[in-house]
Amino acid sequence: MSDSRTRRLLGSALGAGLLPIAPGTWGSAVTVVVMAALHGVAGLWGGLLPVATTWRVAVLLWAGVLLVIALLGLRIGDRAAEDWGEEDPGAFVLDEVVGQGLTLLPLLYVLPRPLPPLPLAAGFLLFRVLDVIKPPPCRRLEGLPGGLGIMADDLMAGVYAAVGVVALRAAGL
């Protein structure tokens, strides 16, 4: 497999970004599904991780995984124009993976029990809306060069959406 093909495979979150219609939504959905599969969803699924997993361990694990994916996104995002033929290709969804992961990070404070389904769904929707409308400074961050511009706007949208998730949880959702 060529370097360009490998970068495209990784940048598309192992093909999620290649699915038809709304590739960013697919990238976000993969993140939600992985988190739900690992930690479970209350009333639906117990999760693959041991019940004894503390919120501290879960947060450190997820933060580490998101950092690695963000660094990978920066690195291969610098070559996106060459690999995909456009500056910020829609099929490149590592930015959505990291932004969605940041959004859901506050939900790990409910551990060791499974994640609450309403905040999980609300976090998904909130991130997708913010990623599309790009409130300030997201749109400006998108203009940064290379992989930084690809990743930064979604990271900021993820931070905004995480604050929204915390507010929803504080309000009792």
Interval 50-70: pLDDT, tens: 776 788 888 898 999 999 999
Interval 71-86: pLDDT, tens: 999 999 999 888 888 8
Whether pTM > 0.75 for this model: the answer is yes
> How wide is the angle at C-alpha 12 spanned by C-alphas 9 and 115, nearest 5°?
125
**Residue 145, phi then psi, degrees to nearest 5:** -75, 150
Contact indicator for 96, 146 with CB cutoff of 8 Å: no
